[in-house]
Amino acid sequence: MDTNPTLLRSLLTDLHFWIPVLVLLGGLAVLRWIS
């Protein structure tokens, strides 16, 4: 099994990961704006 720091690096350098993260932040910003 891989070590956690390596796994974390794999996650953080995965472009696919940042797409939903940015969309989530955008969604929270919209929610804050409309409420």
Left, alpha or beta for 3 (phi > 0: left; psi -120 to 50: alpha)? Answer: beta
**Amino acid sitting at position 32:** R
Find where tokens 């390596």 sit.
6
**Amino acid sitting at position 30:** V
Q: What residues between 11 and 30 interact with another protein by CB under 8 A?
A: 11, 14, 16-17, 19-21, 23-24, 26-28, 30
**Amino acid sitting at position 11:** L
Q: Does 6 bind another protein (CB under 8 A)?
A: yes
Q: Does 31 bind another protein (CB under 8 A)?
A: yes
Q: Which residues bind another protein (CB under 8 A)?
A: 1-2, 6-7, 10-11, 14, 16-17, 19-21, 23-24, 26-28, 30-31, 33-35
